[in-house]
Chain A
Amino acid sequence: EIVLTQSPATLSLSPGERATLSCRASQSVSSHLAWYQQKPGQAPRLLIYDASNRATGIPARFSGSGSGTDFTLTISSLEPEDFAVYYCQQGSNWPPEYTFGQGTKLEIK
């Protein structure tokens, strides 16, 4: 099973600052990596798919990069609504297997 490790566990920043979140895979996942945002009491929302593609309706301040085992989610200038928990996720289409990272909590400093 591929293990995804996210860092840091908690990131404390202020609105307007740049956020950089990391996700490392235990073995190569090529570009099959996604990022999700989850706010309290809400379902996760897809932000980035296939490592670097923004999902429908996602603002341009969110960007993803990386391939192989090391991936980054960058939020260029934090808005108040961006403070949430972020998860990375990898999947293999065949056989279908999917894993999530443990999450990074982005909190207001």
Chain B
Amino acid sequence: QVQLVESGGGVVQPGGSLRLSCAASGFTFNSYDMHWVRQGPGKGLEWVAFIRFDGSHKSYADSVKGRFTISRDNSKNTVYLQMNSLRAEDTALYYCAKDRPGSSHFDYWGQGTLVTVSS
């Protein structure tokens, strides 16, 4: 069965950095596009970043462009989110999600890792 397990969250000061990881299993990882989606405390869902199956293309929400970088290591079945210049408004539960092929939707989600930006 498909499993996505995020890690790397924690408390960081404004302006700091953090790297999130998402370990995937149960499917042929190197064949699927992947995403990061976040949810602020008590708020709705916000798509953050996308990476193509082979890493050849990446896309970001305007709110994180220039500060966050998505990457993947297909030999480790892992996708990453490097977050720099963090702000209080980046505080959220960050989910890793698998892209549903042939559509523009997310068919499997991890349980999320919590990032808190606070001094």
| Contact between A100 and B103, CB atoms less than 8 A apart | no
| Contact between A95 and B59, CB atoms less than 8 A apart | yes
Chain A, residues 77-103, CB within 8 Å of chain B (1/0): the string is 000000000010111110111111111
User: Chain A: how many interface residues by the 8 Å CB criterion?
Assistant: 29
Residues of B within 8 A of A95 (CB): 59
Chain B, residues 33-65, CB within 8 Å of chain A (1/0): the string is 001000000001111001000000101001000
Cα A99 to Cα B105 with chains together (Å) = 10
| Contact between A43 and B50, CB atoms less than 8 A apart | no
Chain A residues touching B, majority SS: strand
| Contact between B44 and A103, CB atoms less than 8 A apart | yes
Residues of B within 8 A of A49 (CB): 100, 103, 105, 107
Residues of A within 8 A of B107 (CB): 46, 49, 55-56
A92/B104 contact (C-beta < 8 A), A44-B45, A100-B47 known: yes
Residues of B within 8 A of A46 (CB): 100, 105-108
Residues of B within 8 A of A87 (CB): 44-45
A34/B105 contact (C-beta < 8 A), A43-B95, A96-B50 known: yes
Query: Which stretch of B8-16, B22-30, B74-82, B109-117 is in the interface?
Result: B109-117
Cα A1 to Cα B47 with chains together (Å) = 13
Residues of B within 8 A of A97 (CB): 47, 59
Question: Is A45 located at the chain interface by the 8 A CB criterion?
Answer: yes
Residues of A within 8 A of B108 (CB): 46
Q: Across chains A and B, which 5 residue pairs bring their CB atoms closest together, nearest first?
A: A91-B104, A98-B47, A43-B109, A34-B105, A96-B59
- Known contacts A91-B103, A100-B46, then 10 further A-B pairs from the complex at CB < 8 Å, ordered by chain A residue: A42-B111, A43-B110, A44-B109, A49-B103, A49-B107, A89-B45, A89-B106, A91-B105, A100-B44, A100-B45
Sample (29) of A-B pairs whose CB atoms are under 8 Å apart: A1-B62, A32-B103, A32-B104, A34-B106, A38-B45, A43-B95, A43-B109, A43-B111, A44-B45, A44-B109, A45-B109, A46-B106, A46-B108, A49-B105, A50-B105, A56-B107, A87-B45, A89-B106, A90-B104, A91-B104, A91-B105, A93-B104, A96-B50, A96-B57, A96-B59, A96-B104, A98-B35, A100-B44, A102-B44
